[in-house]
Structure 1
Amino acid sequence: MGERIRTLRKQRKMTLEALAGDQLTKGMLSLIENNKANPSMESLSYIAERLGVETSELLEETNRQELQEVLKTAEQLLTVDFEVLTDEHEQVLALLGPYVEKLTASYEAARIYDIYGRSLYYEKKDGWRTYLEKAADIYDQMNITRRLATVGIFLAMVEFNEHDYKNSLSILLENRSEIEARNGFFDPLTRLDFDYYEAILHYAVGNAEDAIRIMNEGIEFSKEKKVFYHIDHLYRLATFHAMMNEDVESMEYYERKLLLYGEFADDEEVVFFTKYGKIHYLTTYQHAYSEASDLLDEYLSDYDANNSDTSYILMEKGKVSYGLGKYEEALSWFGQVTIADYIHHPFDLSIFYEKDAYAALCHLALGNKTEALRSIDIAVSNISDMPRTPYKDFIMETYELIHKE
């Protein structure tokens, strides 16, 4: 404590006499700074007032200014897009580790607990939930609703990542209900966070009607409040839902909305999603492989070459080759498809699980019946726990066809 008082005094360019004022002697203050005397609470409050800090900051093992600097560094480390993270979480753990056992209740402490707990989770280390619970308790006590909501959403998505979609939805709904009951309302960003995640989780468990309702409510709320947070994700959901129901008018409407948003926000990813969506619709729902091939060539000529071989595009390349009767080439494309560790939604997984069904059809066309049976059995095994979608229907129909053959 004495060292903290001395550091703060010097930062403020105060002499011992200036800090001592008329209530302490220079000698007593010197003893306090050298940890040779303990001030009374009255004297400590007096010192804190003259230094312009809270008394609690002098009592903490780590002062607030230091915590703010450490927190700023940790947050900067995690500004990298999740898909391109390398060892940032390890760096965060090394940075925050010395502080997490020395904290008292404050906003900075809550954020450190929050970030530290998430980093432990991503590094697959034990104890992450304890720190998130500590963070949530402080957010709750300080009535910081948005941060409290993000912890609840994170805990729900942990279950989502384990493919326990029902439990994930249950946790999210419970968290939303508790916060709403206590506060009576959400700020717009928190409301849109809940709408977005609730919609995707309803879809994940097969509650399409609830998903559509929540999704539309989120879109209307976003337009009403002119807060376009998550609007691109909500439009993507809406586009995908319209596509699966082959509602071409709605699909094209939301594609136009996405394109306008992407051009306005200069968001290349959103713009290319609309192009990918058209290719996917042509291959999967229209079986217009020649037209899809032309669009795919256009897509690849426009898109960043470093991103042109993502698994989504490899799937479309494989389907185009299959549809054009280039079965060996199609098998080559499907063989390169990998499912990224961050892909967990049943819709995305179902799209990728189709690769084995298409591979089975290619093998069948080439006369490799044993390989056809092996591939389709893999597809069925993967898709069995997924909710019903056109992708699951296609896999099951292919299964019937191949086993009949």
Structure 2
Amino acid sequence: MSTIGERIRKLRKQQKVTLEALAGTGLTKGMLSLIENNKANPSIESLNYIADRLHVDVTELLEEISGNELREVLEKAELLFNTKYDELTTEYEQLIDLVKPYVPKLTQGYEAARLLEMYSRCLSFTKQMGSETLLNRAATIYEQMNLTAKRGDIGTFLAGIKFNNHEYQEALNILLAERAELEVNPLWIDPLSRLDYDYLESVLYFAVGKYEDAIRVMENAIEYSNKNKTFYRIDNLYRLAAAHAMMTEDEKKKDYYLQKLHSYSEFAEDKDAKVFIYFAEIHYLSSYKKMYQEANHLYNTVFTKDMVNKLFTPFFLLEKGKILYGLNQFTAAIEKLKVVVIPEILHHPIDLSIFYEKDAYIALCYLALNQKEKALDYAKIALDNINEMPDTPYKKFIEETYEKVKRD
């Protein structure tokens, strides 16, 4: 944060004004230099004179953080915050270092609220303390400005903090409370915010095992999106619907929603949506139909270097390991499965359950290789991981694998 003198000098240079020109007839060049270098304190009369010469309000000079300075910080912060996931290195830490000195003074205005919001989110992303208090401060500022959509965003993120800590019921409670509070506000009519809440509410119902509620909210959201020609979140909703159809082995619905997602991916030129479709088809063949030859053929047909990224690569590695197990290539399967790492941004219990199967498949491979002790070790790891997860076909598979390894 800058001093009055530094702010005067910065504004003067931005406007390409010389010391002599700014001093004019009201100040000497030497006095203005002393002020800019913090060696003399300007009088109120001098400040008003300088502000008038610079064509700014005198508050721009008096405020510890000027509006221009805050806007510059916001511009830099937005660039850091919006770095693509695959390109992320230390951007969140950089943003924290950039914004931290300003935090005590961020009390009003959009710039202050947005900086508080991004700073808080980055604290959460990097597992540092203090994010919730600052998010509530940002929410209050947004409320004062009647920016209900931005206020709504903070509500979903507050729930997301608990979700990322695997406190799923608490996350759902927070989301429902935030939604109830927003819905009494007649200004909260933004369809994008509504779809954000619908999507996250459905996700959280799935997370706590309340599948009927999850399906109800999900289907209502899809209907609302289509009826209002608002395709925001529709790709996420179709993925969710396809994943649920797979878990219930409703192949007709699975195909329907993947076709819908395919149409969306063509329309929006969404590469990630196409990659998900390929993964879903391979996953359904290997996990549900146990058609390993067909899954392997599809994998070899569709998987390309263009699909390699931090999020999807572990999913495809996992499928390849399962396929190798199904093809009785047990040693190769173990090697493939052991390098699978759960992506750091995955926190949903169903996603985690899919990855917890990894150790169960390793156990089956060791069992097939007559290495019973290793098989039991890995089966126990899978069982311990899945224990707190809701009931899914993945949990059932892990439990059955553990019993098989113990018995054989």
TM-score by length of 1: 0.88
Deviations 1:351-381 (A, max 9, x none): 0111111122212222111112111111111
1:205-244 to structure 2, matched below 5 A, reads: 205-244=208-247
Instruction: Using the TM superposition, give the Cα deviation of residue 19 of structure 1 relative to its aligned residue in structure 2, in angstroms.
Output: 11
Q: Distance in 2 between matches of 1:6 and 1:389?
A: 64
Instruction: Using the TM superposition, give the Cα deviation of residue 125 of structure 1 relative to its aligned residue in structure 2, in angstroms.
Output: 3.1
Residue 38, structure 1, aligned to residue 44, structure 2: yes
Distance 1:306 1:158, change over 3 A: closer
Residue 166, structure 1, aligned to residue 169, structure 2: yes
Residue 95, structure 1, aligned to residue 98, structure 2: yes
Q: Which runs of 5+ in 1 are unaligned?
A: none
Q: Distance in 2 between matches of 1:308 and 1:123?
A: 18
Q: Distance in 2 between matches of 1:130 and 1:55?
A: 32
Is the 8 Å Cα contact of residues 116 and 135 (structure 2) preserved in structure 1? Answer: yes
Deviations 1:118-141 (A, max 9, x none): 222333333333322221111111
Q: Percent identity?
A: 49
The alignment partner of 2:199 has SS state of helix
1:293 to 293, 296, 318: 296
Q: Distance in 1 between matches of 2:176 and 2:72?
A: 35
Which residue is 1:77 aligned to? 80
Which residue is 1:255 aligned to? 258
Instruction: Using the TM superposition, give the Cα deviation of residue 60 of structure 1 relative to its aligned residue in structure 2, in angstroms.
Output: 2.0
Distance 1:281 1:12, change over 3 A: same
1:2-401 to structure 2, matched below 5 A, reads: 3=5, 4=7, 26=26, 35-38=41-44, 57-183=60-186, 185-301=188-304, 303-304=306-307, 310-401=313-404
Distance 1:48 1:217, change over 3 A: farther
Paired residues, what number? 398
TM-score by length of 2: 0.87
Q: Distance in 1 between matches of 2:308 and 2:157?
A: 33
Distance 1:81 1:272, change over 3 A: same
Is the 8 Å Cα contact of residues 86 and 310 (structure 2) preserved in structure 1? Answer: no
Is the 8 Å Cα contact of residues 4 and 62 (structure 2) preserved in structure 1? Answer: no
The one-letter amino acid paired with 1:36 is: P
Distance 1:305 1:96, change over 3 A: closer
Instruction: Using the TM superposition, give the Cα deviation of residue 204 of structure 1 relative to its aligned residue in structure 2, in angstroms.
Output: 0.3
Q: Which runs of 5+ in 2 are unaligned?
A: none
Deviations 1:6-33 (A, max 9, x none): 86588678999x999xxxx9479x9999
Is the 8 Å Cα contact of residues 307 and 313 (structure 2) preserved in structure 1? Answer: no
Is the 8 Å Cα contact of residues 247 and 393 (structure 2) preserved in structure 1? Answer: yes
Instruction: Using the TM superposition, give the Cα deviation of residue 192 of structure 1 relative to its aligned residue in structure 2, in angstroms.
Output: 1.0
Instruction: Using the TM superposition, give the Cα deviation of residue 104 of structure 1 relative to its aligned residue in structure 2, in angstroms.
Output: 3.8
Q: Distance in 1 between matches of 2:106 and 2:187?
A: 31
Q: Distance in 2 between matches of 1:276 and 1:126?
A: 36
The one-letter amino acid paired with 1:316 is: E
**Higher mean displacement: 259-268 or 204-213:** 259-268
Is the 8 Å Cα contact of residues 383 and 392 (structure 1) preserved in structure 2? Answer: yes
The alignment partner of 2:64 has SS state of coil
Instruction: Using the TM superposition, give the Cα deviation of residue 404 of structure 1 relative to its aligned residue in structure 2, in angstroms.
Output: 2.2
Is the 8 Å Cα contact of residues 282 and 291 (structure 1) preserved in structure 2? Answer: yes
Is the 8 Å Cα contact of residues 60 and 103 (structure 1) preserved in structure 2? Answer: no
Q: Distance in 1 between matches of 2:18 and 2:326?
A: 83
Q: Distance in 2 between matches of 1:83 and 1:302?
A: 14
Distance 1:192 1:116, change over 3 A: same
The one-letter amino acid paired with 2:92 is: H
Distance 1:303 1:291, change over 3 A: farther
Distance 1:383 1:307, change over 3 A: closer
Distance 1:232 1:393, change over 3 A: same
The one-letter amino acid paired with 1:404 is: R
